[in-house]
Amino acid sequence: MQTELLADYSFDENKEREVIRETLRIYKEVCGKPAKGWLSSSLRCTLNTVDIIAEEGLIFTTDLLNDDQPYLIETRSGKNIVSIPYTSEVNDFTVFMRQGQDVDGAFKVFKEQFDWLYRESATSGRFMNIGLHPHVIGQPFRIRALYDFVAYAKSFDDVWFATREEIAEWYLKNHHTHIA
């Protein structure tokens, strides 16, 4: 099966729904459990994607790049879905391949991002993600940047290392504007 980008101009909403359902079917078959969230191939969602994934029972999307806090998106079905934004800036491909950072430079980028978000989290929750690709960060001459960064972040007792599923579930349970 070839990769199908949802933002392909030949897709209508029904075709997009078909691709999403097939992807979710395969995920469940391979992982043994249903998916709870969605990241569109190449981050190329459409204006319908969030509505469709909410209708399919998912609780979060990672397609948007606009914040460092989760937030709710109301869908046309009235069901809220959590946006847990992705980042294309603090991303191994960007840091190593586009910016040309070496291991020490990548560590500095990751640390600077963390330190600033940690500082801001004193007044309002923040989260940090690093987009990782096995063919980039998985190279032996690059992996130390991630290893050293994780060790640094783990030295803080009050940092939660959570999956996106855990963040979405917590947010839906605890956010005061959640509409069931």
Helix axis angle for 103-120 and 143-154, nearest 10°, is: 30
For the cut 70, the answer to whether the pLDDT of residue 86 exceeds it is yes
Specify the pLDDT at position 5: 64
Query: For residue 27, what are the domain limits?
Result: 13-86
Q: Do 58 and 91 reside in the same domain of the chain?
A: no
Kindly state whether residue 2 falls inside one of the protein's structural domains.
Answer: no
Q: Is the pLDDT of residue 66 over 90?
A: no
Distances 29 to 17, 33, 48, 57 between C-alpha atoms, Å: 18, 7, 25, 17
pLDDT per residue over 117-138, tens digit each? 999 999 988 999 999 999 999 9
Residues 109 and 139 in one domain: yes
Residues 75 and 118 in one domain: no
Residue where a domain terminates, one of 37, 54, 86 = 86
Same domain? For 45 and 98 the reply is: no
Work out the burial of residue 47: count CB atoms within 10 Å of its CB; fewer than 13 is exposed, 13-18 middle, 19 or more buried.
exposed
The pLDDT, as a whole number, for residue 3 is 57
Question: For residues 66 and 45, what is the distance between their CA atoms, to the nearest angstrom?
Answer: 14
Cα separation, 82 vs 128, in Å, equals 16
pLDDT of the residue at 110? 97
The pLDDT of residue 180 = 45
Report the share of the chain in percent with pLDDT over 70.
92
